[in-house]
Amino acid sequence: MAQKVVQFVIGQILTDEELRANFLDRPVETLIRLREKGLDLTEGEVDAITQTDRRLWLKGANWVDPRLRRSELRPRGEGES
């Protein structure tokens, strides 16, 4: 198990609003996409992350200082010309 990769992925899910939304909608597919982009996640790690209590992903981001979070989601239509 590549602990640094797992820690990185958990951190990304908690601090990246768009990634977290994708993960909550399609957890396995989202992690597979990260693996396809070069992150060395094993099937066991994908399974363990997806089996983690969903409350961590739903509430955990609120426990991270906002300055460390990436918030890119905008309501539809906002910023479009």
Give the pLDDT confidence of 14-56 residue by residue, as tens digits.
999 999 999 999 999 999 999 999 999 999 999 999 999 999 9
18 occurs within a structural domain: yes
69 occurs within a structural domain: no
71 occurs within a structural domain: no
Q: How many domains does the chain have?
A: 1
52 occurs within a structural domain: yes
Domain encompassing residue 58:
3-64
31 occurs within a structural domain: yes
Q: pTM value? A: 0.79
Kindly give, in sequence order, each residue whose CB lies less than 8 Å from that of residue 57, ignoring residues fewer than 6 positions away: 13, 14, 20, 23, 24
55 occurs within a structural domain: yes
